[in-house]
Structure 1
Amino acid sequence: MDHLESLCARAWPVLAEVPLGDWLMRAADGFTGRANSTLTCGDPGMPIPRALGVIEGFAREHGIKPTAHVVIGSPPEQAIEAAGWRVDLDHPGGAESLVMTGPLEKFADGVAESRDLPGWWELTAGSEVSPAQRHVLGSGTNVCFAGTVENGSENGTVVAAVRGAVVEDVLHVARLAVRPSHRRQGLARRLMGELAGWGLEQGATTCALQVAEHNEPAIRLYEELGCAEHHRYRYWVPAVS
């Protein structure tokens, strides 16, 4: 689990990153929980209550909410709870997320073309893209901006989009989105197949993605593509913040 979490973190570049023993404190101006929390895999190199104090200082320095990204059932989780932190039930993406993995060859179909289309950013990040969003989504050495354009025209509207990033032999999949007017047409499945084909060309063999536990349609899609739950994580915050 720790190695996979580390690969997912490397696929999601942040503005500020500071190691704390094996842990990794991360900040990106509040854009996504993953980019603005401390990954708590391994040993922080100090007692956990003290490490949590360091996390709070890092969060204050970067203007973000002090948050720990914790694999459910991992050794640090019980100590974090005992230190007085609580599960962040108010997190916008939900309190708990699944990490799912699957073999790319099982659903690869075609090869996605990476295109930095204006509509791609609008669909995946919103109408006004912040510097933090552009950094997290746009940085990296092996990233694909895959999109489906209405009627296949270069000047058409981007109706489906997804981001892929290859780290070692893993294709990290994120920001899969389809416009409401074009849902239930198989666009997400088709785009995932094309992204998988791109990943295979880059030397990846496995996909990894994170999805909120309440996002049942997405979970069903990924299961149909051959993905299965690998583990779960949730965010912890100070009980009084």
Structure 2
Amino acid sequence: MSVLDDLLRRGWPALSEVDVDGWVARVSGGVTQRANSVAPLAVPPDVGSAMARVERLYGAHGLPAVFQLGPTVWPPDLDERLAARGYRYGSPTTVEVAEVAPVLSRLPSGAPSAITALPDEEWMDLWWAVDGRGDDVARDVARWILTAGPALYGSVRDERGVAAVARLALVGEWGGLYCMAVRADARRRGLGSVVLRGVLSAAVGLGVRRCWLQVRASNAAARALYAGAGFTEAARYHYRTQVRG
């Protein structure tokens, strides 16, 4: 397992993980692809048999089988095998990394962020309104995922309330940026940069020196923001999703 694989797993943990001959099958009630996909971190003795077991496992939960094909993929031709099996390609994503100190030196100053160790309801309301999918049960699962490991939660307020939020997962000297969200009427005011500066500044006092984030490869605006802050691409991943009849 690469360092990035370990960070991605610990930064966004699943409700449960099942070992399938070296593959890690994550199951979380269908809430987010990351927490409901297979991390293929070792070569199973019989790849075809392992695929069938994965499909039965997810099927028992009413879910399609999904594979996250990231920095570590075993066997190396797994993407081709899944494509031949009819799995659909999707969600190409870049993993970007940076040293915290240079990022902070590039980010503009702004209104101070509130930083907490747990997300309050206002934080959850904004993030869920921007990026959430599902009912109250799904929101409860999402809250469990968010709080299953140590993290910082930043928010920026304006006259209408919480205007921007972010989560920084804490994994040793690394911080993982997740859940960046800005209220629709508060965009293009630099609040994303303000809340990013807030969580990173707070994390420095906890020993965080490096950071990572994940962003859709097609999100040109977000990638430009992060490039301007000093992030560089370290890896890519995508998903393969079972197409069920």
Q: Same fold (TM over 0.5)?
A: yes
> Relative to structure 1, is the Cα distance of residues 73 and 165 closer, same or farther in structure 2, using a 3 angstrom cutoff?
closer
Secondary structure of the 2:115 match is: coil
Q: Cα distance, 1:62 vs. partner?
A: 2.3
Q: Cα distance, 1:220 vs. partner?
A: 0.7
Higher mean Cα deviation, 112-121 or 70-79?
A: 70-79
What residue is the counterpart of 1:124 in the other structure? Answer: 127
Offset from partner CA, 1:181-237 (integer Å, 9 cap, x none): 111111101111111112222222111111111111111111111101111001113
How does 1:23-62 map onto structure 2 within 5 Å?
23-41=23-41, 43-62=42-61
What residue is the counterpart of 1:145 in the other structure? Answer: 153
* Aligned: 1:212 with 2:221: no
* Aligned: 1:133 with 2:133: no
Secondary structure of the 1:113 match is: strand
* Aligned: 1:102 with 2:101: no
- 2:5 touches 2:72 (CA, 8 Å); kept in 1? no
TM-score normalised by L of structure 2? 0.84
- 1:101 touches 1:206 (CA, 8 Å); kept in 2? yes
User: What is the rounded CA distance, in whole Å, between the counterparts of 2:154 and 2:185 in structure 1?
Assistant: 19
- 1:104 touches 1:207 (CA, 8 Å); kept in 2? yes
User: What is the rounded CA distance, in whole Å, between the counterparts of 2:161 and 2:64 in structure 1?
Assistant: 36
What residue is the counterpart of 2:190 in the other structure? Answer: 186
What residue is the counterpart of 2:8 in the other structure? Answer: 8
Secondary structure of the 2:77 match is: helix
Q: Cα distance, 1:76 vs. partner?
A: 2.8
Offset from partner CA, 1:153-186 (integer Å, 9 cap, x none): xxx5110001111112211111101112111111
Q: Return the letter of the residue paired with 2:217.
A: E
Is there any run of 5+ residues in structure 2 with no aligned partner, and where? none
User: What is the rounded CA distance, in whole Å, between the counterparts of 2:14 and 2:72 in structure 1?
Assistant: 26
Offset from partner CA, 1:54-103 (integer Å, 9 cap, x none): 211221122222000012794535234235345634x5xxx311011111
What residue is the counterpart of 1:20 in the other structure? Answer: 20
- 1:15 touches 1:28 (CA, 8 Å); kept in 2? yes
- 2:43 touches 2:74 (CA, 8 Å); kept in 1? no
TM-score normalised by L of structure 1? 0.86
- 1:27 touches 1:64 (CA, 8 Å); kept in 2? no
Secondary structure of the 1:107 match is: helix
* Aligned: 1:196 with 2:195: no
User: What is the rounded CA distance, in whole Å, between the counterparts of 1:116 and 1:11 in structure 2?
Assistant: 15
> Relative to structure 1, is the Cα distance of residues 158 and 144 closer, same or farther in structure 2, using a 3 angstrom cutoff?
same
User: What is the rounded CA distance, in whole Å, between the counterparts of 1:86 and 1:77 in structure 2?
Assistant: 18
RMSD: 2.4
> Relative to structure 1, is the Cα distance of residues 75 and 24 closer, same or farther in structure 2, using a 3 angstrom cutoff?
closer
> Relative to structure 1, is the Cα distance of residues 87 and 2 closer, same or farther in structure 2, using a 3 angstrom cutoff?
farther
- 1:169 touches 1:206 (CA, 8 Å); kept in 2? yes
User: What is the rounded CA distance, in whole Å, between the counterparts of 1:112 and 1:77 in structure 2?
Assistant: 44
Q: Return the letter of the residue paired with 2:77.
A: Q
Give the count of matched residue pairs.
231
Secondary structure of the 1:203 match is: coil
Q: Return the letter of the residue paired with 2:127.
A: T
